[in-house]
């Protein structure tokens, strides 16, 4: 994407500057030209994605898809995807609209670039301004990345503007006309290509990118751009690669949705050779159809011949939002409790409103607190139904990923959104722990090593009268059963095989509990037979994804483990 932004800044600057010098530049005309070149095929892609969504996605992902679509339609998906919490539902690489963030950044940049060029007419002043601005942006974005704001910087128009500006600087410096550039064009372009190849190999998702590392990629792209007489430039200018460049926008529009829908439907994220070939073939077919039927014809249309089909696309997109949603919900016969986290959400994570109280009338005279991560969220129906049967109530406070226990430092949380949630919950967590007589904890045991230090500190700071129960975790699956089964009743004809993983609580946690008298580990693992037919119980779905019980599953889990749970609670009451 960095290469694309540099090239875009370079080429569009050449076009605008040339028209300004000839006094033929029209700001409105520029915007209309950008709309003609980008928007029709873009909106057509959105319509097709809605149709595919109807047949591929499950209803539980409808809300997030609609929200993502809304911002994508307005070319603001970069800001949306920078802040969205994907903990529940489809993963990022299953989101067919994720790739639109680059087009959103590009369109946003096109809004203000002409204004900059019109306001700063003096070339020297313009170059100095862009140099200084780029340095400030790169420095700022680098610091933000190291301050755990990587996602925000990755999708940010401001942080990405430096890449466009580098292209603009290269265009206006006219460095390609310098004799030393012309005399060494092969070396410069070769070095630029080497930089891009090494960057593609070395940089990965864990790299602190964009920031200062983006500058490396931009330099590589600029070296190729300014070496116009090099052999590399002559090679990439041949008619075959030029044609590929001509249809590259359509290729970009379609390559990601095809892969995303395929990943979502198959729940397979590593493609075989046959799958790669099939995806490439489907991408090329969709791209050519888009290019010859939508992109190229509408680009040359004028007035009503453009605005009528363009307006039709806008109206159709809006109608698709309403009718596809309604159709999807009607054709799906899965009740929401089987496919959504739907119980106890007012005391959970970013949607926290209050500490909720569940169970029955408190007959034991003890203040009970139930805390943890998303696995604790799914067990709220579990303790609620047991509480109603056995005369106790509990206060609850849960979170995604990071369990609601004291001594988890928000500054150690890299994700900015999750860090803000933890900062919001920490005072409430501290207050509730101080007031509780009995504390029940549940969290995802596979990642429990991360909380060993915090758990140990929590135990060391317990009051003499406080007791802690840690519940063992339930197993996870290798695939999402809602997507695989397409119903909440087991489809016997599909014969789908699920791998069940029983995640044990690690020694780093269990050792803390075995050495203390006021803490106890409640182990449900002897009832493994309950999961013999997982993700189903008597042919009814009891998981809403591969890692979380639904309400039905939680209630059935309570029936199986009530005696063991009450044994632990009675120990804590004494």
**pLDDT tens-digit profile of 183-229?**
888 888 888 889 888 888 888 777 777 888 888 888 888 888 888 88
- Sequence-distant (6+) residues with CB within 8 A of 138 are 162, 211, 212, 214, 215
Domain around 72:
2-30+38-173+238-331
Q: What is the pLDDT of residue 344?
A: 93
CB-CB contact of 342 with 336 (8 Å): yes
- Rounded distance between C-alpha atoms, residue 131 and residue 129, angstroms: 6
Provide mean pLDDT across the span 427-441. 95
Boundary-marking domain end, from 276, 302, 331: 331
Q: What confidence category does residue 258 fall into, taking pLDDT thresholds of 50, 70 and 90? A: very high
Q: Could you tell me if residue 281 is inside a domain?
A: yes
Q: Which residues pair with 470 in a beta bridge?
A: 441, 521
- Rounded distance between C-alpha atoms, residue 194 and residue 202, angstroms: 12
CB-CB contact of 536 with 360 (8 Å): no
Q: What is the pLDDT of residue 85?
A: 57
Q: Could you tell me if residue 386 is inside a domain?
A: yes
Instruction: For residue 517, count other CB atoms closer than 10 A to its CB.
Output: 6
**Across 443-570, where does the E strand assignment appear?**
467-471, 476-477, 500-501, 519-522, 536-537, 540-541
Q: What is the reported pTM?
A: 0.78
Q: What is the CATH number of the domain that holds 435?
A: 3.40.50
Say yes or no: 277 and 371 in one domain.
no
Q: Tokens at residue 568, please?
A: 């632990």
Better-predicted residue by pLDDT, 561 or 92: 561
Q: What confidence category does residue 555 fall into, taking pLDDT thresholds of 50, 70 and 90? A: very high
**Across 488-561, where does the E strand assignment appear?**
500-501, 519-522, 536-537, 540-541
Question: Please, where are the H alpha helices in 267-372?
Answer: 273-290, 296-299, 304-331
Q: What confidence category does residue 90 fall into, taking pLDDT thresholds of 50, 70 and 90? A: low
Q: What is the pLDDT of residue 303?
A: 81
Helix (H) or strand (E) holding 224: helix 211-226
Say yes or no: 345 and 313 in one domain.
no
27-56 vs 304-331: helix crossing angle, rounded to 10: 20
Say yes or no: 104 and 88 in one domain.
yes
Provide mean pLDDT across the span 149-172. 85
Whether the pLDDT of residue 316 is over 60: the answer is yes
Q: What is residue 469's three-state secondary structure?
A: strand
- Rounded distance between C-alpha atoms, residue 263 and residue 90, angstroms: 10
Provide mean pLDDT across the span 420-432. 93
Say yes or no: 130 and 54 in one domain.
yes
- Sequence-distant (6+) residues with CB within 8 A of 425 are 352, 397, 399, 404
157-173 vs 100-119: helix crossing angle, rounded to 10: 50
Strands 438-442 and 393-398: unpaired
List b or e across 92-109, with b for residues whose CB sees 16 or more CB atoms inside 10 angstroms.
Answer: eebbbbbbbbbbbbbbbb
**Tally of domains in the chain:** 2
Q: Tally the residues of the chain.
A: 574
Q: Could you tell me if residue 352 is inside a domain?
A: yes
| Closest by CA position to 166, among listed 208, 219, 117 | 219
Provide mean pLDDT across the span 453-479. 92
Say yes or no: 549 and 434 in one domain.
yes
| Closest by CA position to 459, among listed 399, 401, 402, 508 | 508
List b or e across 468-482, with b for residues whose CB sees 16 or more CB atoms inside 10 angstroms.
Answer: bbbbbbbbbbebbbb
Q: Could you tell me if residue 199 is inside a domain?
A: no
ω into residue 535 within 30 of 0, thus cis?
yes
Distance of CA 72 to the CA centre of its chain: 14
| Closest by CA position to 110, among listed 216, 29, 209 | 29
Provide mean pLDDT across the span 536-543. 93
- Rounded distance between C-alpha atoms, residue 254 and residue 263, angstroms: 14
ω into residue 210 within 30 of 0, thus cis?
yes
Say yes or no: 52 and 138 in one domain.
yes
CB-CB contact of 143 with 411 (8 Å): no
Q: Could you tell me if residue 220 is inside a domain?
A: no
Task: For Cα atoms 120, 121, 123, give the angle at the middle one, nearest 5 degrees.
Answer: 95
Whether the pLDDT of residue 546 is over 80: the answer is yes
Whether the pLDDT of residue 108 is over 60: the answer is yes
- Rounded distance between C-alpha atoms, residue 371 and residue 396, angstroms: 6
Boundary-marking domain end, from 296, 331, 366: 331
Q: What is the pLDDT of residue 293?
A: 92
Say yes or no: 244 and 389 in one domain.
no
Q: What confidence category does residue 395 fall into, taking pLDDT thresholds of 50, 70 and 90? A: very high
299 burial via Cβ count (<10 Å: 0-12, 13-18, 19+):
middle
Q: What is the pLDDT of residue 49?
A: 92
Q: What is the pLDDT of residue 91?
A: 65
Instruction: For residue 67, count other CB atoms closer than 10 A to its CB.
Output: 12
Whether the pLDDT of residue 470 is over 70: the answer is yes
Say yes or no: 419 and 279 in one domain.
no
Provide mean pLDDT across the span 510-528. 85
Q: Could you tell me if residue 179 is inside a domain?
A: no
Q: Read off the pLDDT of residues 221-252 as tens digits, 9 standing for 90 and up.
A: 888 888 888 888 888 778 887 888 889 899 99
Question: From residue 343, how far is each of 8, 375, 391, 552 by CA, in Å?
Answer: 48, 12, 20, 11
Q: Read off the pLDDT of residues 413-424 as tens digits, 9 standing for 90 and up.
A: 877 788 889 999
Q: Could you tell me if residue 212 is inside a domain?
A: no
Provide mean pLDDT across the span 501-518. 85
Q: Could you tell me if residue 468 is inside a domain?
A: yes
Q: What is the pLDDT of residue 246?
A: 87
Q: What is the pLDDT of residue 325?
A: 75
Beta-carbon-side half-sphere exposure of residue 547 (alpha carbons within 13 Å): 17
Whether the pLDDT of residue 27 is over 70: the answer is yes
Least confident of 106-110, 344-348, 387-391: 106-110
Q: What confidence category does residue 1 fall into, taking pLDDT thresholds of 50, 70 and 90? A: low
Say yes or no: 292 and 405 in one domain.
no
Q: What confidence category does residue 559 fall into, taking pLDDT thresholds of 50, 70 and 90? A: very high
Question: Please, where are the H alpha helices in 57-176?
Answer: 62-73, 77-83, 100-119, 123-146, 150-155, 157-173
Better-predicted residue by pLDDT, 253 or 331: 253
27-56 vs 100-119: helix crossing angle, rounded to 10: 170
Whether the pLDDT of residue 103 is over 60: the answer is yes
Say yes or no: 420 and 541 in one domain.
yes
Q: Tokens at residue 185, please?
A: 């064009």
Least confident of 20-29, 83-92, 546-555: 83-92
Q: Tokens at residue 390, please?
A: 């056995």
Say yes or no: 435 and 537 in one domain.
yes
Say yes or no: 7 and 96 in one domain.
yes
Q: What is the pLDDT of residue 341?
A: 87
Boundary-marking domain end, from 271, 303, 331: 331
| Closest by CA position to 339, among listed 547, 482, 552 | 482
Please give the mean pLDDT across all residues of the chain: 87
Q: What confidence category does residue 398 fall into, taking pLDDT thresholds of 50, 70 and 90? A: very high
Better-predicted residue by pLDDT, 44 or 153: 44
Instruction: For residue 332, count other CB atoms closer than 10 A to its CB.
Output: 18
Helix (H) or strand (E) holding 359: strand 356-359
């Amino acid at each position: 994407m960095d290469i694309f932004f540099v090239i875009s800044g370079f080429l569009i600057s050449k076009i605008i500057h040339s028209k300004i010098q000839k006094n033929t530049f029209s700001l409105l005309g520029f915007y209309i030209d950008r709309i003609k070149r980008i928007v029709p095929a873009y909106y057509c892609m959105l319509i097709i994605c809605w149709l595919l969504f109807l047949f591929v996605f499950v209803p539980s992902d409808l809300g997030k898809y609609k929200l993502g679509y809304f911002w994508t339609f307005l070319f603001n998906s970069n800001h949306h995807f920078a802040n969205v919490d994907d903990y529940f539902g489809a993963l990022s690489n299953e989101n067919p609209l994720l790739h639109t963030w680059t087009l959103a950044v590009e369109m946003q940049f096109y809004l203000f670039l002409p204004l900059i060029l019109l306001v700063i007419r003096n070339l020297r002043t313009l170059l100095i301004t862009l140099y200084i601005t780029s340095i400030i942006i790169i420095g700022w974005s680098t610091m933000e990345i190291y301050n755990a704001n990587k996602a925000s910087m990755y999708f940010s128009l401001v942080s990405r503007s430096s890449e466009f500006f580098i292209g603009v600087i290269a265009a206006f410096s006219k460095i390609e006309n310098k004799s030393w550039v012309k005399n060494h064009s092969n070396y410069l372009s070769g070095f630029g290509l080497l930089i891009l190849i090494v960057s593609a190999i070395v940089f990965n998702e864990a790299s602190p990118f964009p920031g200062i590392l983006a500058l490396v990629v931009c330099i590589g792209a600029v070296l190729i751009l300014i070496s116009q007489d090099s052999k590399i430039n002559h090679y990439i200018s041949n008619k075959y690669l030029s044609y590929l460049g001509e249809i590259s926008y359509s290729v970009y529009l379609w390559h990601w949705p095809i892969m995303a829908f395929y990943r979502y439907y198959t729940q397979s994220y590593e493609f075989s050779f046959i799958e790669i070939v099939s995806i490439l073939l489907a991408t090329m077919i969709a791209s050519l159809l888009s290019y010859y039927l939508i992109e190229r014809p509408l680009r040359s249309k004028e007035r009503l011949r453009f605005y009528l089909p363009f307006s039709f696309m806008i109206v159709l997109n809006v109608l698709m939002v309403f009718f596809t949603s309604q159709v999807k919900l009607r054709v799906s016969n899965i009740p929401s409790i089987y496919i959504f986290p739907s119980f106890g959400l007012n005391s959970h994570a970013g949607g926290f409103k209050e500490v909720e109280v569940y169970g029955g009338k408190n007959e034991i005279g003890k203040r009970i607190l139930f805390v943890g991560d998303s696995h604790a969220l799914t067990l709220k129906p579990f303790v609620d139904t047991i509480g109603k049967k056995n005369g106790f109530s509990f206060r609850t406070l849960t979170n995604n990923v990071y369990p609601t226990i004291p001594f988890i430092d928000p500054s150690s949380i890299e994700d900015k959104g999750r860090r803000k949630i933890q900062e919001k919950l920490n005072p409430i967590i501290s207050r509730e722990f101080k007031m509780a007589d009995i504390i029940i904890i549940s969290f995802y045991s596979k990642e429990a090593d991360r909380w060993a230090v915090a758990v140990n500190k929590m135990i060391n700071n317990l009051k003499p009268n406080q007791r802690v129960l840690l519940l063992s975790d339930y197993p996870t699956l290798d695939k999402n059963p809602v997507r695989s089964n397409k119903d909440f009743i087991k489809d016997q004809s599909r014969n789908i095989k699920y791998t069940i993983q029983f995640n044990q609580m690690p020694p780093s946690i269990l050792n803390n509990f075995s050495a203390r008298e006021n803490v106890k580990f409640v182990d449900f693992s002897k009832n493994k037979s309950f999961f013999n037919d997982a993700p189903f119980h008597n042919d009814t779905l009891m998981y809403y994804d591969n890692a979380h019980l639904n309400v039905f599953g939680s209630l059935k889990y309570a029936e199986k483990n009530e005696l063991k749970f009450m044994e632990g609670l009675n120990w804590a009451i004494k």
